[in-house]
């Protein structure tokens, strides 16, 4: 049985407006049959027609569309859950801290091996400290397809560490941001910066909350701001 | 152009007649030697020497003639080199003259084409005019060898030039007429097949549809068997002329049992068309089968020749057999067998070459009779429909289409083919380093004219592109200024390499959904190719080329 496509399907496949499809049908430029005033396109005929004209047919536009949809706030919550919270992480030096981060986070082998170095590299470029004892370390190039979803790992430091932050305060908590693509990266970074600069957030973090508490707090803040 | 067409026509006429005459003299000489079984070595000898001459002395390849000419029309006339004139002449003379089962028309068409191309180069003409001269040459060659001016004209317009405008028709007619006239002056006005056909009944006309379908299918089989033989012989890893010798020997063996399959085979067709000496049905079928085989082996093993004559000869056999079988059925008012043989010829040519008009006019002119026009039209067109339903192109164009090198003037592919990526690169953008901070980017951004920024790493390789649209919402979030590096917000895009065709570049635009893509040569970043600039140039090119 051959599959029949509707005008809406063809709009999706060819990426042209509906009116254009109807014009092509009228001009006889596209193979089509009309039954009860509705237009139908035979799939295999359409495919070979497109091939003869060197036209690309889009299998699914869904994946492409996802890229341009702004990251909703729940993405950050998802990323936090995926990244998990770690308490009292040894932090005598930056190197030691980042090694610890790479080991604790649930990552593919390849990333675990290079993560500490990548984070150090970014830190040498400029500090990721955003003030009030908080830092958001991240690799300077997004990990892209190597990870399936963006994650934010929360690490409370055993001993506060100097991150050369603009306000000079030693850092006691870091949010390691690993983003799956560059579009998400900027959005997540922006949301984090906004959340963390929120009043009372600093006091809350000082108590080294668990993952559930943290997620809860983020969601409440979210509700207040919107 | 008229003078050039006249000159080409005259020379083509002389060459066509000369080739035809030499081949027939050689054939006659060999048959008169009367060597009995030893004659099986002649095709081998001829094919071996032909390939040796063509390859080693003249450094040419032995193509199918017409496909070279069609390729020249698409890719540029320099495909046809001057040495083809000699190499094809002597190559086909030896192959066919010694008994190789193929035709002279393919070689003579490439000779005509090469002649046109050489003349165009000599007169320092532009590419468009050179290609037209190639077309005139093809017309002259066909007109000269068949003594058929209309066929020459139609063949050239339908199969070679593919364009019916004032620029093509008159000079092509001049070439065809002058070639025919020369051939008639030398050889006299001989009609290839003399045949008077009485009127066709409606039942016979309907039968022509069936005959058309049959020849259509046989033409597909014929074209495929040629490819198979070519593949078969290319697997034999011996020197080319040894391959040709092996092929020639096998043809010689076949020819020992049935000498009719050797050489062009027009004399057999002549027999088929004569009422007085009517062969048996079994003989006709066997002949078609063996001719099929012998032609495939000759061409597959590298023999120099064309498929024109074999198509006609096989077509006449198929048509005759069809007519004979029809007569066995209890039907009234069926036309003569010979009429179906003629219709079969037209059908076979139409099917093999995807040129129904050529088939119709060729048979009409070869028999010098208008009375057959209706059955010819029906058979040829239905053969064409059947054949093109199963095959994308004719026996000439199929390989070219697969290689993607059959590009007609004025088409999308042609336009794109002639746009050069280097010429249409955008360079008025600002490149940025991948570890640039957002704070520093803002300064760069003030100077920018474009809304995209190619990102380079330390080795100056393009690793991605930052699009203003992606970061615009965050440009004024000052708390991000020191947190964001450009490397983390760029998109990694497919790169276009300089030597790839624009059509491939356009495919990358389609998949990546952006308006500009980086262009590289090796690892070196050259610039950006944008769809809008491309459209500008595309339209300009279209304006220039449209008729």
Contact A166 B482 (CB under 8 A): yes
Nearest to B137 by CA among B103, B168, B111, B159: B111
Same domain for B255 and B133? yes
The Cα–Cα gap between A218 and A224 comes to 10
Q: What is the mean pLDDT of residues B318-331?
A: 84
Contact between A47 and A10 under an 8 Å Cβ cutoff? The reply is no
The Cα–Cα gap between B20 and B36 comes to 25
DSSP β-bridge partners for residue B453: B466
Q: Report the Cα–Cα distance between both ends of chain A, in Å, rounded.
A: 52
* pLDDT of A46 strictly over 70: yes
User: Nearest chain B Cα to A189, which residue?
Assistant: B480
Q: What is the pLDDT of residue A63?
A: 45
- B422-425 contacts, C-beta under 8 A, 24 or more apart: B422/B498, B422/B526, B423/B537, B424/B529, B424/B533, B424/B534, B424/B536, B424/B537, B425/B519, B425/B526, B425/B527, B425/B528, B425/B529
- Percentage above 70 pLDDT, chain B: 93
Q: Residue B269 is inside which H or E element, if any?
A: helix B266-273
Q: Residue B513: its chain A contacts at CB < 8 A?
A: 64
DSSP letter at A36 equals T
Q: Report the Cα–Cα distance between both ends of chain B, in Å, rounded.
A: 18
Q: What is the mean pLDDT of residues B21-41?
A: 78
Same domain for B368 and B427? no
Range of the domain at B500: 412-545
pLDDT interval class at B59 (50, 70, 90): low
Indicate the residue among B355, B379, B403 that finishes a domain.
B403
Q: Can you give the residue ranges of every domain in chain A? A: 4-59, 68-225
pLDDT interval class at A62 (50, 70, 90): very low
Q: Give the one of A64, A130, A182 whose C-beta lies nearest to B490's C-beta.
A: A182
Q: Residue A125: its chain B contacts at CB < 8 A?
A: 435, 437, 485
Q: What is the mean pLDDT of residues A86-114?
A: 82
Q: What is the pLDDT of residue A65?
A: 44
Interface check for A184 against chain B (CB to CB < 8 A): the answer is no
User: Nearest chain B Cα to A15, which residue?
Assistant: B510
Q: What is the mean pLDDT of residues A88-101?
A: 83
pLDDT interval class at B95 (50, 70, 90): confident
State pTM to two decimals.
0.69
Q: What is the pLDDT of residue B58?
A: 66
The Cα–Cα gap between B509 and A76 comes to 31
What would the 3-class secondary structure string for B397-459 be? CHHHHHHCCCCCCCCHHHHHHHCCHHHHCECCCCCEECCCEHHHHHHHHHHCCCCEEEEECCC
Residue A4 burial (C-beta neighbours within 10 Å; 0-12, 13-18, 19+): middle
Q: Which residue has the tokens 């009372």?
A: A200
Q: What is the pLDDT of residue B177?
A: 92
Contact between B516 and B427 under an 8 Å Cβ cutoff? The reply is no
Please state the domain count of chain B: 2
Which of A119-123, A164-168, B129-133, B276-280 is the least confident region?
A: B276-280
Nearest to B157 by CA among B139, B141, B137: B139
Contact B483 A189 (CB under 8 A): yes
Q: How many C-beta atoms surround the C-beta of residue B59 within 10 A?
A: 10
Q: Which residues of B touch A (CB under 8 A)?
A: 412-413, 434-435, 437, 463-464, 470-471, 473-474, 477, 479-480, 482-485, 487-492, 503, 507, 510-511, 513
Same domain for B383 and B418? no
DSSP β-bridge partners for residue A152: A177
- Count CA within 13 A, CB hemisphere, residue A39: 19
Q: What is the pLDDT of residue B239?
A: 75
Q: What is the pLDDT of residue A84?
A: 85
Report which listed range, A186-195, B286-295, B484-493, is most confident. Answer: B286-295
Q: What is the mean pLDDT of residues B372-396?
A: 86
pLDDT tens digits along B460-488: 888 888 888 888 888 888 778 888 888 88
Same domain for B192 and B140? yes
Distances (CA, A) of B274 to A104, A163, B67, B197, B283: 95, 104, 34, 11, 15
The Cα–Cα gap between B271 and B259 comes to 14
Same domain for B528 and B500? yes
- Count CA within 13 A, CB hemisphere, residue B62: 32
Nearest to A113 by CA among A90, A139, A137: A139
Q: What is the mean pLDDT of residues B242-264?
A: 80
Q: Kindly name the residue from A121, A138, A184, A207 that is annotated as catalytic.
A: A138
Q: How many C-beta atoms surround the C-beta of residue B495 within 10 A?
A: 21
pLDDT tens digits along B144-154: 888 888 999 99
Q: What is the mean pLDDT of residues A187-216?
A: 81
Name the architecture of domain A68-225: 3-Layer(aba) Sandwich (3.40)
The Cα–Cα gap between A176 and A197 comes to 17
Same domain for B175 and B58? yes
Q: What is the pLDDT of residue B254?
A: 83
Contact A186 B434 (CB under 8 A): no
DSSP E strand boundaries for A80-218: 85-89, 129-131, 134-135, 151-161, 171-178
Nearest to A187 by CA among B466, B432, B477: B477
pLDDT tens digits along B337-360: 788 888 999 999 999 888 899 999
pLDDT tens digits along A107-125: 887 778 888 888 888 888 8
Nearest to B113 by CA among B163, B181, B64, B50: B64
Q: What is the pLDDT of residue A66?
A: 45
- Here the tokens at position A15 are 């990426």
Q: What is the pLDDT of residue B401?
A: 75
Site from A15, A165, A182, A196 to mutate, B interface, most B CB atoms within 10 angstroms: A182
Contact A186 B484 (CB under 8 A): yes
Contact B492 A144 (CB under 8 A): yes
Same domain for B332 and B350? yes
Which residues are within 8 A (CB) of B451 and not within 5 positions of it... i.e. 6 or more apart? B467, B468, B469
Same domain for B379 and B451? no
* pLDDT of A144 strictly over 70: no
Nearest to B320 by CA among B286, B354, B367: B286
Average confidence score pLDDT of chain A: 80
Q: What is the mean pLDDT of residues A97-109?
A: 83
| Domain containing residue B31: CATH number | 1.10.3080.10
| Domain containing residue B502: CATH number | 3.10.580.10
Q: Which of residues 132-151 of A touch B (CB under 8 A)?
A: 136, 138-142, 144
Interface check for A177 against chain B (CB to CB < 8 A): the answer is no
Indicate the residue among B403, B421, B452 that finishes a domain.
B403
Same domain for B386 and B480? no
Q: Which residue has the tokens 């596209």?
A: A30
Which of A39-53, A172-186, B402-416 is the least confident region?
A: B402-416
Handedness of CA A30, A33, A39, A45 (dihedral sign): negative
Q: What is the pLDDT of residue B178?
A: 92
The Cα–Cα gap between B175 and A50 comes to 40
- Three-state DSSP class for residue A172: strand
Same domain for B136 and B275? yes
Contact A125 B492 (CB under 8 A): no
- Here the tokens at position B178 are 């002058």
Contact between B19 and B108 under an 8 Å Cβ cutoff? The reply is yes
* pLDDT of A64 strictly over 80: no
- Per the model's pLDDT, the better-predicted residue between B473 and B191 turns out to be B473
Distances (CA, A) of B397 to B162, B423, B530, B537: 13, 31, 34, 29
Q: Which residue has the tokens 């709009």?
A: A11
Q: What is the pLDDT of residue A169?
A: 84
Q: What is the mean pLDDT of residues A85-97?
A: 83
Same domain for B61 and B172? yes
DSSP letter at B64 equals -
A56 is catalytic: no
Q: What is the pLDDT of residue B509?
A: 83
DSSP letter at B485 equals B
Q: Give the one of B412, B413, B485 whose C-beta lies nearest to A140's C-beta.
A: B485
Q: Residue A64: its chain B contacts at CB < 8 A?
A: 513
Residue B368 burial (C-beta neighbours within 10 Å; 0-12, 13-18, 19+): middle
Contact between A152 and A37 under an 8 Å Cβ cutoff? The reply is no
Q: What is the pLDDT of residue B195?
A: 63
DSSP β-bridge partners for residue B103: B306
Q: What is the pLDDT of residue B192?
A: 64
Distances (CA, A) of B257 to B95, B249, B260, B271, B298: 19, 13, 9, 18, 17
Same domain for B211 and B245? yes
């Amino acid at each position: 049985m051959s599959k029949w496509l509707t005008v809406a399907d063809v709009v999706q496949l060819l990426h042209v407006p509906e009116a254009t499809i109807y014009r092509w049908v009228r001009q006889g430029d596209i193979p089509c049959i009309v039954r009860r005033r509705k237009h139908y396109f035979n799939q295999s005929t359409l495919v070979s027609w497109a091939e003869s004209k060197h036209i690309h047919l889009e299998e699914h536009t869904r994946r492409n569309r996802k890229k341009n949809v702004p990251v909703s706030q729940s993405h950050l919550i998802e990323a936090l859950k995926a990244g998990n919270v770690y308490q009292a992480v040894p932090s005598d030096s930056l190197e030691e801290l980042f090694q610890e981060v790479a080991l604790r986070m649930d990552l593919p082998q390849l990333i675990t091996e290079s993560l500490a170095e990548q984070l150090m590299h970014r830190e040498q470029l400029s500090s990721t400290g955003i003030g009030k004892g908080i830092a958001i370390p991240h690799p300077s190039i997004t990990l892209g397809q190597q990870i399936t979803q963006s994650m934010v790992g929360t690490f409370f430091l055993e001993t506060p560490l100097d991150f050369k932050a603009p306000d000079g305060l030693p850092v006691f908590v870091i949010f390691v941001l690993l983003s799956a693509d560059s579009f998400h990266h900027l959005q997540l970074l922006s949301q984090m910066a906004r959340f963390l600069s929120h009043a009372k957030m600093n006091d809350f973090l000082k108590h080294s909350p668990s993952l559930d508490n943290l997620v809860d707090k983020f969601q409440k803040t979210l509700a207040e701001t919107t | 152009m008229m003078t050039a067409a006249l000159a080409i026509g005259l020379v083509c006429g002389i060459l066509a007649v000369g080739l035809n005459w030499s081949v027939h003299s050689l054939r006659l000489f060999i048959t008169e030697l009367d060597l009995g079984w030893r004659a099986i070595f002649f095709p081998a000898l001829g094919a071996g020497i032909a390939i040796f001459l063509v390859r080693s002395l003249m450094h040419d390849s032995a193509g199918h003639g017409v496909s070279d000419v069609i390729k020249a029309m698409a890719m540029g006339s320099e495909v046809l080199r001057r040495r083809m004139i000699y190499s094809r002449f002597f190559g086909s003379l030896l192959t066919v003259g010694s008994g190789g089962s193929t035709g002279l028309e393919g070689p003579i068409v490439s000779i005509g084409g090469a002649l046109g191309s050489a003349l165009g180069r000599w007169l320092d003409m532009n590419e468009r005019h050179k290609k037209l001269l190639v077309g005139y040459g093809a017309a002259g060659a066909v007109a000269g060898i068949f003594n058929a001016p209309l066929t020459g004209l139609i063949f050239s317009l339908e199969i070679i030039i593919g364009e019916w405008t004032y620029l093509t028709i008159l000079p092509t007619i001049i070439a065809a007429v002058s070639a025919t006239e020369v051939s008639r002056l030398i050889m006299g006005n001989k009609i290839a097949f003399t045949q008077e056909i009485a009127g066709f009944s409606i039942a016979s006309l309907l039968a022509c549809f069936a005959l058309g379908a049959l020849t259509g299918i046989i033409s597909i089989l014929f074209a495929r068997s040629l490819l198979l033989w070519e593949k078969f012989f290319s697997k034999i890893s011996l020197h080319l002329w040894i391959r040709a010798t092996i092929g020639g020997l096998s043809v010689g063996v076949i020819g020992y049992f049935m000498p009719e399959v050797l050489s062009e085979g027009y004399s057999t067709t002549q027999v088929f068309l004569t009422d007085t000496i009517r062969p048996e049905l079994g003989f006709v079928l066997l002949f078609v089968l063996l001719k099929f085989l012998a032609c495939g082996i000759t061409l597959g093993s590298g023999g120099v020749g064309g498929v024109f004559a074999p198509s006609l000869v096989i077509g006449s056999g198929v048509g005759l057999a069809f007519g004979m079988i029809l007569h066995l059925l209890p039907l009234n008012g069926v036309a003569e067998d010979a009429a179906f043989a003629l219709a079969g010829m037209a059908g076979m040519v139409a099917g093999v070459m995807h040129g129904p008009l050529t088939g119709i006019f060729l048979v009409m002119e070869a028999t010098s009779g208008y009375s057959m026009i209706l059955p010819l039209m029906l058979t040829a067109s239905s053969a064409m429909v059947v054949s093109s339903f199963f095959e994308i192109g004719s026996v000439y164009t199929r390989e070219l289409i697969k290689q993607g090198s059959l590009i007609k003037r004025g088409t999308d592919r042609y336009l794109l083919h002639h746009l050069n990526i280097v010429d249409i690169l955008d360079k008025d953008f600002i490149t940025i380093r991948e570890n640039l901070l957002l704070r520093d980017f803002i300064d760069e951004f003030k100077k920018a004219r474009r809304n995209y920024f190619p990102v380079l790493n330390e080795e100056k390789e393009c690793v991605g592109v930052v699009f203003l649209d992606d970061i615009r919402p965050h440009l004024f979030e000052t708390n991000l200024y020191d947190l964001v590096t450009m490397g983390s917000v760029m998109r990694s895009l497919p790169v276009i390499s300089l030597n790839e065709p624009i059509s491939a570049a356009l495919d990358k635009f389609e998949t990546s959904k952006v308006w500009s893509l980086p262009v590289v040569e090796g690892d070196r970043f050259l610039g950006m190719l944008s769809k809008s600039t491309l459209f500008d140039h595309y339209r300009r090119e279209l304006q220039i080329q449209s008729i």
